[in-house]
Structure 1
C-alpha cells in the first residue's frame, strides 16, 4: 500500500466510520459510534482512521490516557478493524502507519486489546501476526467460556436436575424491553454484597443503548410467580450471543432459575447462533481464575477461547521495516 495517512476521529467522520464498521469482517455493534459515545464523558476519545489516498482502509477504536493510547477502555474488546478483501501485507503497513503516527504525536505506548476469534465474521487474525513482528508484549489473557452451537454439546447432570427443579417450581422466563427490575432488584444488590461493585452500565444507559440497538441487546428475567429472582443481559452480534450480566438472588439458590434460563437461551432462543459466550471468569487482569464460576459455565458444555491484551512501544514501528521478501 502507498500513501497511507492516519487521522484522529472527528464528529464529522460519524457516517464514514459507521459505514466502515457495518462492512468490516472483524467488527460488532460495539464499535458503532452510538455505542462508543454513550459514555463519552468518561473517556478522552482518540480513535483513528487510516486512509489509502482518499479511501478508508482501517479504523482503531481508542482513547488516550496521558502519554498512552488504549484500545477503547469503554469496550469489552477492540483492535484494528478492516474489511474482508484486505491482505496480510496491507495490515502490516497499516499497523506500522498507526504506530508511526502515535510516536510522532508523542505517545509512548499503545495498549491493544484484541477481538476474540468467535466474533470474527471471517478469519481475521492478521493483526496478531503483526503484533508479533512489532514485538508487542502480552500483558493479559482472559478465558472466555464459549459453546460452539454448531456442534453437539453435553450438559452435566447437575444442570439437568436444576432445569427439572425449575419446571417443578413453575418458574417463568420473560424477555423484556426494560432493565430496571433486574438492575435494582437483582444485579445491583448482588454486585454490592459480593464484590462491593456496581454495574458498568446504569439503567438509563442500558435503556438508551436498547433504543439504539434493539436487535442486539436483550434482557431475560426469571420470575417465581410475580417476583423477579434472576436474569441475564445478552449482547447479540452476527456470530455470538454474549452474556454481559448474569445474576440471581442468593436466597433463591435451590429453584434452578439459571439452569432453566440458560437451557432456554442455548437450546431455543439463540440455538441458531454460531457461538454462545458466557464471558470471562477471571480476575486480576487474567491472572486469577474463579474456578467455581468457570466450572458452572463448563457444565453447560462451554470450553475456553482466549482474549489477549498487548502492550507495544510506538517506536517499534521501525521493527516493521524490511519484513517483505
Structure 2
C-alpha cells in the first residue's frame, strides 16, 4: 500500500495546521493551536500531520504518554481531522500510514477519542470502519445529552413551572464578557464543595481563551436584583452550542436562574444551530450515569448520543492492506 508522509507537528507548521482545521470537514475551534497550547506545559504534544507529497491531507491532535499516543488529553475530543474533499481510499491510506509510523517509532498503542458526530460538517465515519478493520477495542463510552433542532421536543412541565417562577422573581439573563463573577462566586465554590475539584479551565485560562476565540467562548449569567444567581459557559462551534460549565447558587435554586438561562439560549440565542449540547452525565470513566443529572438534562428535551474511546495496536496497520478490492 502506498504510504503517505507522517511528521510530528512543530511550530513552523502552525499556520498550515490552523488553515487545515478551518477548512476541514470534522473539526472545531478546539483544534486550533491557540486552544491546544494554552496548557502546553501539562502535555507532551505529539500531534501528527500527514502529507501526500507536499499537500497536507490530515491531522491528529495528540500527545504522548510513555509508549502510547493519545488523542490530545487537553481536548474533549479528537480523532483524524480530514479535508472536505477527502476520498475514502485516501483515508484508508492515511490511517495505514499513521499506524505504521507509530509502530516504526516504537509507539505500540494509539488511544483515540472520537469527535462526536454532531460536530461533523460532512459525514465523516471513515474512522469507525477503519477502527473495526484494525481490531480496535472500545474502552469507554460516554452518554451526552443533546437537543436536535430539526425535531425539537418540548421541555417538561417542571421546566415550564420553573421558568414561570423565574419570571415572577424578576430574574433576567444577559451575556457578559467577564467570567470572574461566575467562576469565583458560583462555579469554583460549587465544584469544591460537591466534588473537591476545580474547573478544567482556571479563571485566567478561560479569560485568555475568550480573548483568542471571542465568538466561540461565551458567558451567560442570570441575575436577581443585580446579583448573580446562576451561569452557563458556552463553547460555540458551527453546528453546536455546547454548555461547558453549568452552575447555580444552591440557596437561590428555587428562583429558576438556570431555567431562565437555558430558555434564553435554546429558544433565542442558538435557535439557528443544528444542536444544543448539555454534555456528558457519566462518572467513573463512563461506567456509571448520574441519574439526577441526566434526568435534568432530559427535562429540557435532550436525547442521548454516545462519545466513544478506543485503543488500537499500531502493529495492526497490515490489516488494512485488503480493504480495497
Is the structural similarity TM-score above 0.5?
Answer: yes
Query: Which residue does 2:163 correspond to in 1?
Result: 163
Query: Which residue does 1:146 correspond to in 2?
Result: 146
What secondary structure, in the 3-state scheme, does the structure 2 residue paired with 1:150 have?
Answer: helix
Deviations 1:224-246 (A, max 9, x none): 11221110100000000000000
What secondary structure, in the 3-state scheme, does the structure 1 residue paired with 2:36 have?
Answer: helix
- Aligned residues of 1:60 and 1:80 also touching (Cα < 8 A): yes
Q: Aligned equivalents of 1:303 and 1:317: distance in 2?
A: 36
- Aligned residues of 1:3 and 1:53 also touching (Cα < 8 A): no
Deviations 1:68-126 (A, max 9, x none): 11000000011000012111221111111101101111111010010000000011111
Q: Does 1:4 align with 2:27?
A: no
Deviations 1:147-176 (A, max 9, x none): 011223211000000000000000121201
Q: How many residues are treated as equivalent by the alignment?
A: 325
Query: Which residue does 2:71 correspond to in 1?
Result: 71
1:1-325 equivalences under 5 Å are 2-325=2-325
- Aligned residues of 2:230 and 2:257 also touching (Cα < 8 A): yes
1:318 positional shift: 1.4
What secondary structure, in the 3-state scheme, does the structure 2 residue paired with 1:199 have?
Answer: coil
Taking structure 2 as the reference length, the TM-score comes to 0.98
Q: Aligned equivalents of 2:152 and 2:4: distance in 1?
A: 46
Taking structure 1 as the reference length, the TM-score comes to 0.98
Q: Aligned equivalents of 1:73 and 1:89: distance in 2?
A: 29
Q: Aligned equivalents of 2:253 and 2:82: distance in 1?
A: 45
What secondary structure, in the 3-state scheme, does the structure 2 residue paired with 1:228 have?
Answer: strand
Q: Aligned equivalents of 1:102 and 1:185: distance in 2?
A: 46
- Aligned residues of 1:61 and 1:79 also touching (Cα < 8 A): yes
Instruction: Give ranges in structure 2 of 5+ residues lacking alignment.
Output: none
Distance 1:272 1:27, change over 3 A: same
- Runs of 4+ aligned structure 1 residues displaced above 4 Å come to none
Q: Aligned equivalents of 2:156 and 2:224: distance in 1?
A: 24
Q: Aligned equivalents of 2:34 and 2:122: distance in 1?
A: 24
CA RMSD in angstroms comes to 0.9
Q: Aligned equivalents of 2:115 and 2:89: distance in 1?
A: 20
What secondary structure, in the 3-state scheme, does the structure 2 residue paired with 1:44 have?
Answer: coil
- Aligned residues of 1:233 and 1:246 also touching (Cα < 8 A): yes
Q: Aligned equivalents of 2:2 and 2:321: distance in 1?
A: 14
What secondary structure, in the 3-state scheme, does the structure 2 residue paired with 1:184 have?
Answer: helix
Q: Aligned equivalents of 1:314 and 1:58: distance in 2?
A: 18
Q: Aligned equivalents of 1:243 and 1:45: distance in 2?
A: 27
- Aligned residues of 2:145 and 2:279 also touching (Cα < 8 A): yes
Instruction: Give ranges in structure 1 of 5+ residues lacking alignment.
Output: none
1:3 positional shift: 4.8
